[in-house]
Structure formats: structure tokens, C-alpha cells
């Protein structure tokens, strides 16, 4: 019945999804892709107006096809790509520049300058993060430095700076609500995870006025209304997946294999863990608790496959073979997946991608297998580092995202990690997490899960990982 209907908006790096949920079950999903804009090498942008137009179209389509009216929908929840930042004029409602995507490396020089000035320890202590172009702070500073018209509006009350959630909430409420939640705010390098607020020292460091930033609300708070529907339940996508996978105990780990790959370990109240290889981030903040997580960020996951499919060979033509029988390639071919530099635990923005070990006998299938192997190799390096830093043994990991549907690859991941790998039959854990946040953790119907166990005595993939890791260390 319509009175038990919720909507979830999932705005990701590659597109926007709108899910219709009735009686705790996802009954329909609608998708719209948006353009990936690459003005220069290493620069990545999205058009905020295109994304907003997609949201409007999806909403109209979902209501029409399911014969719904706004009055009968209980909540509209939101989960979103993190770190991507938008600056817009509150008076005109127009963006002053395209959304600068989390993948964008154009602020590398700013980060290197701040690190050279010795600011890394200050930022790490306050935020749990690194000074890196991945995060929003240096992107904002780049825009302030490059565009005087943006700088001139700063602090006047006319300028809005926010992550994707803040932009969409502002648009949905027609400018009445300018707000974000802590899981998004903590990814900007402007948020103090000890004080749970914007930090004056960090604002000064990145040349940002507090007046330009959104109000920070609890994830389960009310964020206004869209066409009469309460907007409730707002979480950044990776943290939402952690919540959706029910990773609530210390040491629980989830791996989301999307455009990039986010590996999060629940650490509850342990917000003081610091290691340059691994991040400490806020997981979620609601009316009941504030909890934290360790995170390893992999820059290129599904993005590496998209690149391979567009530049080398159509992935669909050979992916079936790899999925049906992912026998580890006998070719000593390795892929360095630094299409956008390397993330955790290596953190090298200058590193570039390459294939190593190709011979006349190397095929396109061998190359694709090398790309797939590099994805689980990166996960292995992060999991090993997490165990070392946390001094906890991880017995199992939960995996979601499109690439997790490759059963043979997941079986190899279990053997490589020497851990149980649990893969859900659905991809929507970010949406499930934010919906649970909105509805007080009511049961959500999921399909099932596939469990993979390590194969004892299988050393081929482990030996290949050692050689791959040696190559990464050599080129770092």
C-alpha cells in the first residue's frame, strides 16, 4: 500500500538511481547516467544541473509508473558520492563551476605546498584524513584561487559550498534548507571529528568562510521536504553501505567495489587511531550515537574496467570467460592500476598506470585478468594494513558493488585474504543503509548472500600478489 512507500535517491559517481521501497522491499529501480567531464588529464567534473535534471526526471517517472502521489510517500532518503564539491550562488541558484569530483587531482600542487609547510599533522589529528586532492578542502581552495568572482562572494551570505547531498537538498527544498550530515562533512578536510563541527583552523588553512558552509544535522534528522515528502536519512554512500551491511561491531569490515573501492572497518568510538597509510573517518552520527571507522580508499576499481573496455577491448566480449572460470593467468602480466594515482595504503598521486610483463603470447584476456587481479591485490594490501594498525584480526569481510557479482573473482579474493568473503545478491547497500537510518532500522528485505571460503594450499594467487606488491613498492 502506498502509505508504506519510501523512496531512496542514490547519487553516485557514474549516475543517479531512485529506488521505490514498499513494505521494506525494493520493488523498482530507476537509473540515469550523467556525463563524465575530463577537461585535462587528471581533471574530473560533473555538471550539477545535469544531475539535478536527472533527479527530477527519475522522480516523475517513478511516481507515474507506480501510480504514486507525493502525499502517500513516507520518506525520501539520500545517499551520495562523497568528497565531490559544488559551489553555487544562493541568489541565482546557479553553480559557479562544475562539480569537482573526488577523482580530480588538479589540486595536487596545493596539497604538496601544505605538506611542505608541515600542515599534515594538524590536518590528520583534527580530521583523521590526509592532505590529499581526493578530499574537498584543496578543491575548494583551488577554486577560490583560480576564480576571483567566487572568492569575492565568500562570506557575503550569497555563496554556498557543499558536497553533492547539500546541493540536492538545497534544490529539493527550493533553497529553504542548506544542510549536510556528518558523514559527508567529515570528508571535506574542514570538519573536526573530535568536536563534531567545522574547525576554524582548517577553514583558515583552506581559505573557506564558515558562512559558506551548510548546517550539519544528524543523519536521521529531517532535511526539509521535496514536493511534500519528508527528506530523512542522509548518509555518504560508503558509510551508508557499512550501516546497510549491519557492520556495527568493532572489527566488522565491508568492501564496496564501485567506480572506486572503499574499505571500511567499524571501530566504534576509537577515533584516535592515526597511521599515514589508513584513514580514520566518522561512520555516522544520529540521535543515538557517533561511531567511527578505519578506511582504505582505492581510486580505480570499476573505473579501471571502464577504461579497459573503452580503450583496449570490449569487456563484455571476454568478461564471461573470466567470470565463468577465473583461472589465474599463467602469463606473468601485472597491471599497475594507477589511472588516477594510487590510494591506500600507498598514496602516490604521481604514479601512472601500466602493464608489465607482456609478451608475444599475451592476449586481451590476459590483460583483463591482470586488471581484475589488481583489484583484489589492492584490497589485500588495505586489509593487511588495517589488521596491523588496529591490532585486530578480521575473520570475514562483506562485499557489495557491481564487481562483486564476478563469482570466480570473489572466490580468488577469499583465498588471497585467507578469510570468509560474504557477497550479497543485491547491490543496493548504500540505499539500504540510508533507508534504515531514516526508518529506525526497520527490517529491509534482501535476497540472500553467497559465501566464499579460502582454498587451503592454493598459492598461485598469493605468489602473484607478492610480485605485484613488489612492483608497486618499486615504482612508488
User: One digit per residue, pLDDT tens: the chain, 476 residues?
Assistant: 445 888 999 999 889 999 998 877 888 999 999 999 999 988 999 999 999 999 999 999 999 998 888 888 989 999 999 999 999 999 999 999 999 999 898 999 999 999 999 999 999 999 999 999 999 999 999 999 999 999 999 999 999 999 999 999 999 999 999 999 999 999 999 999 999 999 999 999 999 999 999 999 999 999 999 999 999 999 999 999 899 888 889 999 999 888 888 899 999 998 889 999 999 999 999 888 899 999 998 888 888 888 888 777 665 555 544 554 455 556 789 999 988 888 889 988 888 889 999 998 888 888 888 999 999 999 999 999 999 999 999 999 999 877 888 888 999 999 999 999 999 777 788 888 898 888 875 665 556 678 999 987 778 888 899 999 999 988 76
Q: How many domains does the chain have?
A: 1
C-beta atoms surrounding 383 within 10 Å: 23
In a domain, 312, yes or no: no
Residue 307, domain member (yes or no): no
At residue 167, the pLDDT reads: 97
Grid cell digits, residue 428: 543496493
Could you tell me if residue 323 is inside a domain?
no
394, part of any domain: no
- Report pLDDT for 447: 61
pLDDT of residue 328: 52
Residue 275 placed within a domain: no
Q: 3-class DSSP state for residue 153?
A: helix
Q: Which domain holds residue 91?
A: 2-237
Instruction: Output the nine-digit C-alpha cell for 287.
Output: 540521535
DSSP secondary structure of 197-255: EE-HHHHHHTT--GGGSPEEE-TTSEEEEETTEEEEEEEEHHHHHHHHTT--STT-EEE
Q: Does a structural domain hold residue 306?
A: no
In a domain, 198, yes or no: yes
Q: Is residue 355 part of a domain?
A: no
Q: What is the C-alpha separation between 435 and 433, in angstroms, rounded? A: 5
- CATH label of the domain that carries residue 123: 3.30.420.40
- Sheet bearing 229-236, strands edge to edge: 25-33, 15-22, 5-11, 73-80, 229-236, 222-226
Amino acid at each position: 500500500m502506498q502509505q508504506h512507500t519510501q523512496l531512496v535517491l542514490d547519487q553516485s559517481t557514474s549516475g543517479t538511481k531512485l529506488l521505490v521501497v514498499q513494505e521494506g522491499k525494493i520493488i523498482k529501480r530507476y537509473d540515469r547516467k550523467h556525463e563524465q567531464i575530463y577537461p585535462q588529464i587528471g581533471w574530473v567534473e560533473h555538471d550539477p544541473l545535469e544531475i539535478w535534471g536527472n533527479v527530477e526526471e527519475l522522480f516523475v517517472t517513478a511516481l507515474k509508473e507506480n501510480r504514486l502521489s507525493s502525499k502517500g510517500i513516507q520518506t525520501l532518503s539520500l545517499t551520495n558520492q562523497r568528497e565531490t564539491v559544488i559551489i553555487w550562488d544562493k541568489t541565482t541558484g546557479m553553480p559557479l563551476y562544475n562539480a569537482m569530483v573526488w577523482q580530480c587531482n588538479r589540486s595536487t600542487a596545493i596539497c604538496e605546498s601544505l605538506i611542505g609547510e608541515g600542515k599534515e599533522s594538524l590536518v590528520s589529528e583534527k580530521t583523521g584524513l590526509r592532505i590529499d586532492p581526493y578530499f574537498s578542502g584543496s578543491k575548494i581552495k583551488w577554486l577560490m584561487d583560480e576564480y576571483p568572482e567566487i572568492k569575492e562572494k565568500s562570506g557575503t551570505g550569497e555563496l554556498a559550498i557543499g558536497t553533492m547531498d547539500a546541493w540536492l537538498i538545497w534544490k529539493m527544498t527550493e533553497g529553504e534548507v542548506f544542510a549536510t550530515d556528518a558523514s559527508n562533512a567529515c570528508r571535506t578536510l574542514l570538519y573536526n571529528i573530535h568536536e563534531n563541527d567545522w574547525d576554524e583552523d582548517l577553514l583558515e588553512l583552506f581559505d573557506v568562510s564558515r558562512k559558506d558552509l551548510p548546517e550539519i544535522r544528524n543523519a536521521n534528522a529531517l532535511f526539509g521536504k521535496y514536493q511534500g515528502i519528508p527528506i530523512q536519512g542522509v548518509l555518504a554512500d560508503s558509510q551508508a553501505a557499512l550501516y546497510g551491511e549491519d557492520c556495527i561491531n568493532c572489527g566488522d569490515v565491508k568492501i564496496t567495489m564501485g567506480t572506486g573501492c572503499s574499505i571500511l572497518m567499524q571501530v566504534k568510538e576509537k577515533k584516535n587511531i592515526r597511521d599515514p597509510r589508513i584513514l580514520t573517518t566518522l561512520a555516522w552520527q544520529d540521535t543515538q550515537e557517533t561511531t567511527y571507522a578505519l578506511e582504505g580508499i582505492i581510486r580505480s576499481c570499476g573505473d579501471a574496467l571502464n577504461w579497459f573496455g573503452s580503450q583496449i577491448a570490449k569487456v563484455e566480449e571476454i568478461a564471461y570467460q573470466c567470470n565463468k572460470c577465473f583461472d589465474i593467468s599463467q602469463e606473468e602480466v601485472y597491471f599497475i592500476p594507477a589511472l588516477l594515482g594510487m590510494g591506500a595504503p600507498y598514496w602516490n598521486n604521481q604514479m601512472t598506470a601500466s602493464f608489465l610483463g607482456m609478451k608475444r603470447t599475451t592476449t586481451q584476456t590476459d590483460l583483463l585478468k591482470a586488471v581484475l587481479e589488481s583489484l583484489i591485490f589492492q584490497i589485500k594490501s588495505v586489509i593487511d594494513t588495517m589488521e596491523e594498525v588496529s591490532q585486530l584480526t578480521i575473520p570475514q569481510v562483506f562485499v557489495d558493488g557491481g564487481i562483486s557479482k564476478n563469482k570466480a573473482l570473489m572466490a580468488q579474493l577469499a583465498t588471497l585474504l585467507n578469510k570468509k568473503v560474504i557477497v550479497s545478491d543485491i547491490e543496493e547497500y548504500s540505499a539500504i543503509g540510508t533507508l534504515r537510518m531514516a526508518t529506525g532500522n526497520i527490517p529491509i528485505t534482501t535476497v540472500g548472500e553467497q559465501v566464499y571460503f579460502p582454498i587451503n594450499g592454493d598459492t598461485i594467487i598469493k605468489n602473484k600478489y607478492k610480485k605485484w606488491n613488489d612492483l608497486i613498492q618499486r615504482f612508488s
